[in-house]
A and B are shown apart, each in its own frame.
Chain A
Amino acid sequence: MAFDPASLIAPIVGGALIGLSAGVLRLGNGQIAGISGILRIGLRGPDRSWRPAFLLGVALAGLLAAWRGGPELAAGLERASLPVLVVAGLLVGVGTGLGNGCTSGHGICGLARFSKRSLVAVLTFMAVAVLTVLVRRAGGWL
């Protein structure tokens, strides 16, 4: 595998911004930047103070991404079938609801505060995701 160190710049810069965002929300407001929780609680209430503001910020970033970035930012999504996306979306929604966190809440915020619970969650979803892709590769569905 050819390895180009320059390919790491975008992941590192992007990751640092995500970490900064989580730190701003924690140090500034005392809150956890977990997207699944913000969506779940922010869309239903009762706390409507900060979660809608956070989601508005994400939406502004989405507009910026569409304007400056374009389709390659979502490369692969154009080939995905809608029924598969609906099933996957349900699994992600129910799973992150039951597990109380996703890649951001457990993966960044939870690990940043050295939560054992989050470590278990991250190891579980990473292992299952890797296994799922392995099965897809073996079955020729990749």
Chain B
Amino acid sequence: MRGAAALLAGLLFGIGLAISGMTSPDKVIGFLDITGAWDPSLAFVMGAGLLVAAPLFLIARRRGAALSGDALGEPAEQTIDAKLIGGSALFGLGWGVSGLCPGPALIDLFIQPVQAGAFCAAMIAGLLISRRD
């Protein structure tokens, strides 16, 4: 049951990414390029995502537990610190250089395997060296 929900969530997530435009570096750079031929359409990805996710998250919070009976997982870290801001800044730099963030890079493995493979291998190495837990 938990495995099926996770599989379904991964499938929906990946299909959503592929439809949204986030898997194209050209599209992402066009969104970030606010002084050029700015293409604001990707802002609607986050907007629509939040409109759908927020009520479901609220229902989960009201219930106090997931439908599976599991507790609602909380992030290990709760403070706003230099690690959060510095890490997010490094991520923003890599995102602005390549036009790729982690989810879309995984989808692109199946479309441009050489380029996406180079990015994903480095990203996974970076993830594994960034922390020990």
Contact = CB atoms under 8 A, between A and B. Distances in A.
Q: Do the two shown chains form a genuine complex with each other?
A: yes
A91 B52 contact: no
Contacts of B10: 21, 53-61
Contact of B53 (A13, A74, A109): A109
Interface in A46-80: 49-51, 53-66, 69-78, 80
A76 B24 contact: yes
A94 B115 contact: no
A23 B18 contact: no
Contact of B57 (A23, A103, A126, A136): A23
Contacts of B105: 89, 92
Interface residues of B, number: 116
A77 B80 CA distance: 34
Residue among A56, A86, A92, A131 with the highest chain B CB neighbour number at 10 A: A92
Contacts of B14: 57-62, 64-65
Nearest to B76: A100
Contacts of B18: 14, 61-62, 64-65, 69, 73
Nearest to A24: B9
Interface in B45-102: 45-57, 59-61, 63, 65-68, 70-73, 75-80, 83-102
A22 B130 CA distance: 25
B115 A85 contact: yes
Contacts of B115: 74, 77-78, 80, 82, 85
Contact of A62 (B50, B110, B114): B110
Contacts of B2: 28-29, 49-50, 53
